Structure 1
């Protein structure tokens, strides 16, 4: 599904948001009849948002609980939130040509609290607003039958990714066209960093990327890294329905020569191979560079045991996304995300500064890649 779109001219198409519901979160109760802006003057301006998912066929691919996207919007200035009037009875946002960071969730992250406190609030104090998106299958979007952060089915993983990418693309358009933000950066740690790069790649607009301690694809962590140990391979071997769904999603994308009737020691290897072929659709090498590769920073950890060593993949991506910056963080995967927040904030600010500058002319690098034909709905030129 995703690979087919990458090879066609609708990869830059954006599904519009049908309806956006905004709710003021935690207004100051001590202010009685003062205007909304005065209520928020003493604290962060925090708005909750909700809209129907823009994932194509989301009503079929996502459980009912995940079919509405949820986010928190942390505004740097109370004046950016407009009072409701008789003509406009709902809360409205006014970006005023300023900057916005769209912050994507990491692996298994419920809610927005950690990202809001660690990243969004410091950015707001520095004058930058942030939209913190919740991922499908987590937080308010967690299916009732799902236990904690553990996805019920392996096939939920790429569906989660596709939902995040499409919802992010729609939010980028909304932030610029409806709210009036000018410079927009997509950022995220771990899985969120991978999805940030993908969303920017498929956006027809100038978008910056701050990818923090993320893998170049989902293959290494889930088939070779530490996360592969959390997958119940024996159960997956027995789960014919899940394997069948993987095969359906792989149909017409690979030469599917897997035999579901195999048994014995080779079957686990077969299941891993099928999953790797499925997750190959998440390989950034298959994604075209964004319009502003000079406003892209990839930061990966030197001691990352979750992702493992991927020097060859990073080198391929460096050639494909010519102009992007690649940085090393002396940390592990978890420690880099939890304890290197100041470095992450600095990276986001560096991307914003570069995005505000005129684009740097970059000579194209010829590497094998999927076809990149001009979009139908929106033109990137």
Structure 2
């Protein structure tokens, strides 16, 4: 399915940039990688938090309160605790603009904090007699909820919305990748040997690290990426060869006319589309290489059928071998190391998991990633025919009904003992 055009447009008009200070302190990254192994062990992680750890409350959650929490309480009788992310709202550094994290390492610190804080809140809810308990979130919040669920030692409904199995493609393939100063990251990577000699050896890209998987991906999508122009060019070449070998003048004339017609058709396609169709084919195969000028075009029809992942014109992507750049591979590796759900334990009961995904999500690409069903057998994934932004704007009611359904599923399987 084509990626959402609205996602690409929305991201292109935002001026905020991510990771403007780079990777973060290399020593801190090393400690984060080591801590991830502790957090990935449910028992070890759970025991890090005292059961009576105190809870505090703040009140700055307008969107989640009014779009999810209040309607959920009114419609289904489900109360909510709205957790504010570290590095967000009142918890962000004073010089940080909105949610634009300064360092790559910040997102891993955020994830570790949310896992531990979720344990604190769930323990408090149990002590207050609330049941059943569940976890949900949208976009990055959905992924954070998934990470938190891996460390709760009991069955728990989980409803991750508009997220997937890892944050790796979000920052290396999706529209968010255009908001990263890759030149800075590459400069830091090669400027400090610790990144290459120590840290790179501590991480591993989980998805598509097997050449067979990459070959499967290419074989699966190559026929679909053949544009109309490709087919015409193949046919024209074939007919051109017939021209050279044929002795029949009538056949020669017919083929020549056909060849001219094909050439005219090619030119027509180029004019109609406003750009070379070969670029569209390349975009289908290697979406990060497409530097689209269509954001400047008032004619949205010119976007039709094009998978848009606008990446800035910086040196990292100046050639056709961007996949070989070590900085990009390092980003994939550290994101998989710290956020890939396969690196964490499986939730106690995966049948209580209902994920809601946008089929045309350009923020959270799923192609080439392990699916939630593969990692968590028994989990259910549902798809909305929308992009990331349109799903968030138009499908809040669906998110709420899915949350309520997951809670009902939990009550049916684990009835509350009222004795």
Smaller-chain TM-score bracket = 0.5 to 0.7
Distance 2:190 2:129 in 1: 45
Q: Deviations over 1:83-118 (max 9, x none)?
A: xxxxxxxxxxxxxxxxxxxxxxxxxxxx41110110
Alpha-carbon distance change, 246 to 114 in structure 1, aligned in 2, over 3 angstroms: farther
Worse overlay, 327-336 or 141-150: 141-150
Cα displacement (A) at 1:237: 2.7
Cα displacement (A) at 1:206: 2.1
Secondary structure at the aligned position of 1:357 is classed as helix
- Cα RMSD (Å): 3.1
Q: Counterparts in 2 of 1:1-381, with a 5 A limit?
A: 1-5=34-38, 6=40, 10-16=44-50, 20=54, 49=57, 71-72=58-59, 111-126=60-75, 127-177=77-127, 179-239=128-188, 250=199, 253-254=202-203, 269-281=325-337, 282-310=339-367, 312-314=369-371, 317-358=372-413
TM-score w.r.t. structure 2 length? 0.57
Alpha-carbon distance change, 334 to 255 in structure 1, aligned in 2, over 3 angstroms: closer
Cα displacement (A) at 1:240: 6.1
Secondary structure at the aligned position of 1:313 is classed as coil
Alpha-carbon distance change, 277 to 350 in structure 1, aligned in 2, over 3 angstroms: same
Cα displacement (A) at 1:270: 1.2
Structure 2 stretches of 5 or more lacking a match? 1-33, 206-314
Secondary structure at the aligned position of 2:172 is classed as helix
Task: Determine if contact 2:354/2:379 at 8 Å carries over to the other structure.
Answer: yes
Task: Determine if contact 1:227/1:306 at 8 Å carries over to the other structure.
Answer: yes
Task: Determine if contact 1:217/1:283 at 8 Å carries over to the other structure.
Answer: yes
Q: Deviations over 1:149-191 (max 9, x none)?
A: 21111211111111112211221112112x2211011000111
Distance 1:352 1:130 in 2: 13
Cα displacement (A) at 1:284: 1.5
More strand by share: 1
Cα displacement (A) at 1:319: 3.2
Alpha-carbon distance change, 242 to 356 in structure 1, aligned in 2, over 3 angstroms: farther
Distance 1:181 1:245 in 2: 48
Q: Deviations over 1:262-294 (max 9, x none)?
A: x99789921111111111121112222211211
Task: Determine if contact 1:155/1:242 at 8 Å carries over to the other structure.
Answer: no
Alpha-carbon distance change, 19 to 209 in structure 1, aligned in 2, over 3 angstroms: closer
Task: Determine if contact 2:155/2:352 at 8 Å carries over to the other structure.
Answer: no
- Alignment correspondent of 1:100: none
Secondary structure at the aligned position of 1:343 is classed as helix
Secondary structure at the aligned position of 1:215 is classed as coil
Distance 1:291 1:138 in 2: 30
- Alignment correspondent of 1:37: none
Higher relative contact order (CA 8 A, sep 6+): 2
- Alignment correspondent of 2:229: none
TM-score w.r.t. structure 1 length? 0.63
Worse overlay, 115-124 or 288-297: 288-297
Structure 1 stretches of 5 or more lacking a match? 23-48, 50-70, 73-110, 257-262, 361-381
Distance 1:218 1:255 in 2: 14
Secondary structure at the aligned position of 2:120 is classed as helix
Distance 2:48 2:133 in 1: 16
Task: Determine if contact 2:165/2:369 at 8 Å carries over to the other structure.
Answer: no
Secondary structure at the aligned position of 2:401 is classed as helix
